[in-house]
């Protein structure tokens, strides 16, 4: 429960930051998660905010919730992003974070990398890979979202 509270506070703090911030986004993701020869489909939601830090660099924070298509035992977490803008439409980033799996009552640190490409004024597509460090779980997800 502490993680849920922490993620909610971090997301609200990011959303309440003044206008120097680059963008807020809400994203629906789907993909595959695998470990030890077993795989499963995944679906999730991310709410995040990226801040310009000078030049083409940005830092960001996101709260995430992922589950399988049975919608049981979600994994919730918070990630930090560090990246660069390749163009006005495209960002690449690395991430690090913390996830808590509610059904099995375990937590894990994760690392990853991703690409975000803006479509028009408000939409985005994304591709992301994550590796959970203690459990050797891998996740690849594609996403569609809106930017504010």
User: Exposure string (b/e) for 115-145, b if CB count within 10 Å is 16 or more?
Assistant: ebebeeeeebebebebebeebebbbbbebeb
pLDDT of residue 22: 84
Q: What is the pLDDT of residue 69?
A: 85
Kindly report the pTM of this predicted structure: 0.82
Q: What is the span of the domain harbouring residue 124?
A: 2-147
Q: In sequence order, which residues have a C-beta less than 8 Å from that of residue 57 and are 6 or more positions away? A: 82, 83, 84, 85
Consecutive 10-residue averages of pLDDT for the chain (148 residues):
46 44 91 94 96 95 92 92 96 97 86 97 97 93 97
- Quickly list H helices, 63-140: none
Q: State residue 19's pLDDT score.
A: 40
pLDDT of residue 36: 92
Q: What is the CATH number of the domain that holds 42?
A: 2.40.160.20
Nearest to 113 by CA among 137, 97, 99: 97
Total tally of structural domains belonging to the chain = 1
- Residue length, the chain? 148
DSSP summary character for residue 17 = S
């Amino acid at each position: 429960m502490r993680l849920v509270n922490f993620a909610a506070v971090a997301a609200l703090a990011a959303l309440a930051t003044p206008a120097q911030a680059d963008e807020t986004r809400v994203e629906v993701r789907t993909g595959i998660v695998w470990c030890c020869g077993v795989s499963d489909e995944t679906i999730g939601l991310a709410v995040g905010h990226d801040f310009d830090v000078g030049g083409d660099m940005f830092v960001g924070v996101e709260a995430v919730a992922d589950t399988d298509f049975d919608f049981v035992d979600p994994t919730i977490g918070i990630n930090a992003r560090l990246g660069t803008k390749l163009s006005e439409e495209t960002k690449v980033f690395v991430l690090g974070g913390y996830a808590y799996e509610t059904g099995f009552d375990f937590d894990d640190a994760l690392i990853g990398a991703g690409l975000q490409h803006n479509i028009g004024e408000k939409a985005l597509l994304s591709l992301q890979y994550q590796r959970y460090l203690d459990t050797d779980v891998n996740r690849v997800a594609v996403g569609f979202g809106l930017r504010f």
